[in-house]
Amino acid sequence: MSRNLGFLFLILSLAICQAAIFEPVSDKHRSAALHLFRPVDGSFGSLEESYESLRTFEILGVKKFDVSQSTCPLVVKTLEASPTCSKDLFDALRVNRILRCEVEADIFEKIASKLQTGIREASSLLDFYYGVGSLGLIKEQSPETNVQLSDASTTFHSIKSLSQSDGRWLFSFGSVESSTYAAGTVHPGLALETLAGVISLASSELDQSMIGAVKSDIVKLFDSTERYDDGSLYFDDKLLDTHGHQGPISTTSAVVRGVTSFSAVISGKLNVSYQQLLSCSLACLLAFVVLCEMTIKFLLPGELLPGDKILGLARFFLGIGVPGNAKDLFTQIDSVACLEDNKISIPLILSLPATVLSLTKKDQLKVKVNTVLGSSAPPLTVKLVQAFSSDKKEIPVLENQKLNVDPESSDHSLDILSSNIDIGKYIFSFRVVLHESENKKIYATGGQTQVPIFITGFINVDSSEISILDSDLGSIETKQKLDLSGKTSLSLSANHLQKLSLHFELTTPHGNSFHPHQVLLKLSHESKVEHVFLVGNSGRHFEILLDFLGLVEKFYYLSGKYDMQLTVGDVAMENSFLIALGHVELDLPQAPEKAPRPPPQPVDPSSIYGPKQEIIHIFRATEKRPPQELSLAFLGLTVLPFFAFLIGLVRLGVNLKNFPSSALPATFALLFHCGIAAVLSLYLLFWLKLDLFTTLKALGFLGIFLLFVGHRTLSHLASMSTKLKSA
């Protein structure tokens, strides 16, 4: 038995320790809500969209938009229509619960009467849900209205008959396919949420055996949970009737609302007898009967849903981060609000404001513990169980450390500089311990929580040297010290019979060896051909030896100047550097006939597609203009024929005696003269600013207009002349 117990504790320790970071709802969610839920013309849209927006703002405590004037008339109109057990009625009541529109009491009484009749005639889970849910909302908004169900037991039994042996529920009495989504959906909410509404509306106490049967269904329902490596639990419904695949977010949210609603209306916590759980465990293989029984005794001492399962659901919704669409954001916020205040277990979330700590800046390790909506946690202590390096997990660097709590901010902190912790990546295991025993029955802490943390710092670079060695004797021909923390400009020379040696040491602030992710030496020929070499290490000592005799083919027998560049970088190294060391002049032998050729170098796209050289045009110089007086004199001579034309008209005795006197002909004649004036105005505009194509286009339309009105005018004058001659 002791061996089994030890094996059980090993399983539990592995199950409850996850290296993940979860953050409660924060201002990021509020900013996202203000961005995603934005009213258009004073309204959020449909009643469903209005409820999702208003409910999200209500939970987050955001009071920015007032849509009462545009939404309340739609709510009242829908309630006055009072459709029986409909989604529109349900959405209108949900919106009214938040906005508190002015609705007369007799409207609620009329709706309640129709709903009670509709529930008795309901044939699907949706009808039950909308009917029972609407009555519950009326009970909250109009307490004086009679919304009790006299036949609540019959209604409860009818809904319960839709459940199946595997914990799923049928959508209707005639459907064959079932769905976990129906076991507690949000929109529409079904099964468990509907049963919870029936219990709250019952005129008398229901049979406890029926409630106990629903508890058993919840046990079966949670058997279908799926788990991520970080400890998150979720439901994924693969088979739905006509509603389509809802996805894990909607399905999990459905179950959360259903379970929390059901637990809120029954007396005490969701409890189930030990014999029922033990009978479920006997379905396991015979070899694991003892282990299954011990697991039930250890995890479920009479409690249907342990706090770890509720915490796993909370981690799933918080692990989403900040959703990018309005529907998912509402589902996430509404779900965590259900978990924030439930009778099963309130999850507490351990989070870290920063997971990258600097030894140089003397950062402290800070931990926050809040509820899923960011509210303050009850009195508690955060303990650092152990911290171990990701490379050496068998040797902890810190153990059994109690974090100090700040009474004002409720932050828990630990000074890691006083310990021997060094630069690198670590896994910190925390445990939250509640001070009061009563809070242990209310809150879920989740045992140990593992969090990855990076410790950064300044790396010391010492003993930096570069040398040119003789290939045969190994003697040092040239040796120079390097300053890798500043500017270095070397000028070396070597032939193919020599070697280049570079070595340096890297140590942490505590004097330990440090192995960065990247240590590279790059040699670039003046023809743009580059060669990259990996610098090896032995402990804290890094060294590379380039034998040019063996590298002549790799260098394509290219003699000349090679620029040297050293790269040392790591995520935990605050002084990562890429430094130019200088150059080395290589004298390599001539390339044989069949020697490999350097690869063609990529063409710089900017040289092809980049901006071209600006073209400077040289225009002809402006010709000299005549004096202003001469130009004005020429203008006067140009205008003189116009005045001569006017004088000629007067001398000829031009008059308007033949201007049509009838209304229609006079209109055409007037339009004809206006058209002539428009053509002259068009000529003037062409002279001032219009181009030829625009002028011709306008002149074409004016010409057609003049042709029409001019023809009608001339036809009238011709007919009048004929009449005068005949007379």
pLDDT tens for residues 631-669? 889 988 888 888 888 888 888 877 777 788 888 888 998
Name which of 246-250, 295-299, 457-461 the model is least confident about.
Answer: 295-299
Question: How far is Cα 668 from Cα 85, in angstroms, rounded to an integer?
Answer: 70
**Helix (H) or strand (E) segment spanning residue 195:** helix 191-201
Question: How far is Cα 14 from Cα 393, in angstroms, rounded to an integer?
Answer: 14
Torsion angle defined by CA atoms of residues 266, 268, 272 and 274, in that order, rounded to the nearest 10 degrees: -170
Question: How far is Cα 366 from Cα 19, in angstroms, rounded to an integer?
Answer: 17
Question: How far is Cα 195 from Cα 192, in angstroms, rounded to an integer?
Answer: 5
**Helix (H) or strand (E) segment spanning residue 290:** helix 289-299
pLDDT tier for residue 247 given thresholds of 50, 70 and 90: confident
Question: How far is Cα 625 from Cα 123, in angstroms, rounded to an integer?
Answer: 97
Its sign, for the CA torsion 243, 247, 252, 253, is negative
3-state helix, strand, coil split of the chain in percent (to 5) is 40, 20, 35
User: Are the C-beta atoms of residues 468 and 498 closer than 8 Å to each other?
Assistant: yes
Number of neighbouring beta carbons within 10 Å of residue 535: 18
The SS3 of residue 365 is strand
Contacts of 165 (CB under 8 A, 6+ apart): 220
Question: How far is Cα 369 from Cα 701, in angstroms, rounded to an integer?
Answer: 79
User: Are the C-beta atoms of residues 338 and 360 closer than 8 Å to each other?
Assistant: no
Q: Rounded to 5 degrees, what are φ and ψ at 715?
A: -65, -40
Question: How far is Cα 664 from Cα 649, in angstroms, rounded to an integer?
Answer: 27
The SS3 of residue 697 is helix
Question: How far is Cα 334 from Cα 356, in angstroms, rounded to an integer?
Answer: 32
User: Are the C-beta atoms of residues 470 and 498 closer than 8 Å to each other?
Assistant: yes
Order of strands across the sheet that contains 476-481? 476-481, 460-470, 498-507, 541-547, 536-538
Please list, residue by residue across 389-423, b when 16 or more beta carbons sit within 10 angstroms of its beta carbon and e when fewer do: beeeeeebbbeebebebeeeeebbebebeeeebbb
Mean pLDDT for 684-710 is: 92
User: Are the C-beta atoms of residues 427 and 435 closer than 8 Å to each other?
Assistant: no
Question: How far is Cα 562 from Cα 560, in angstroms, rounded to an integer?
Answer: 7
Number of neighbouring beta carbons within 10 Å of residue 719: 11
Is residue 185 pLDDT above 90, yes or no?
no
Question: How far is Cα 321 from Cα 101, in angstroms, rounded to an integer?
Answer: 34
Name which of 176-185, 610-619, 652-661 the model is least confident about.
Answer: 176-185
Give how far Cα 526 sits from Cα of 192, 491, 546, 564, 590, Å.
Answer: 75, 15, 19, 11, 17
Is residue 375 pLDDT above 60, yes or no?
yes
Q: Which two tokens stand for residue 484?
A: 């890798």
Mean pLDDT for 400-419 is: 88
Is residue 279 pLDDT above 60, yes or no?
no
pLDDT tier for residue 275 given thresholds of 50, 70 and 90: very low
Is residue 558 pLDDT above 90, yes or no?
yes
State CA 444 to chain mean position distance.
28
Longest dimension (CA), the chain: 140
* CA neighbours closer than 13 Å in the CB half-sphere of residue 582: 17
Torsion angle defined by CA atoms of residues 258, 262, 265 and 266, in that order, rounded to the nearest 10 degrees: -170
412-416 contacts, C-beta under 8 A, 24 or more apart = 412/366, 412/367, 412/368, 412/369, 412/382, 413/364, 413/365, 413/366, 413/367, 414/364, 414/365, 414/367, 414/384, 415/364, 415/365, 416/357, 416/364, 416/365, 416/455
Is residue 290 pLDDT above 80, yes or no?
no
Tens digit of pLDDT for each residue in 490-514? 899 999 899 999 999 999 998 899 9
Mean pLDDT for 176-204 is: 69
pLDDT tier for residue 209 given thresholds of 50, 70 and 90: confident
State CA 229 to chain mean position distance.
21
Q: What is the pLDDT of residue 300?
A: 37
Question: How far is Cα 305 from Cα 311, in angstroms, rounded to an integer?
Answer: 11
- Mark out the alpha helices in 65-104 (DSSP H runs): 68-81, 87-99
Is residue 282 pLDDT above 50, yes or no?
no
Amino acid in position 443: Y
Nearest to 333 by CA among 25, 649, 685: 25
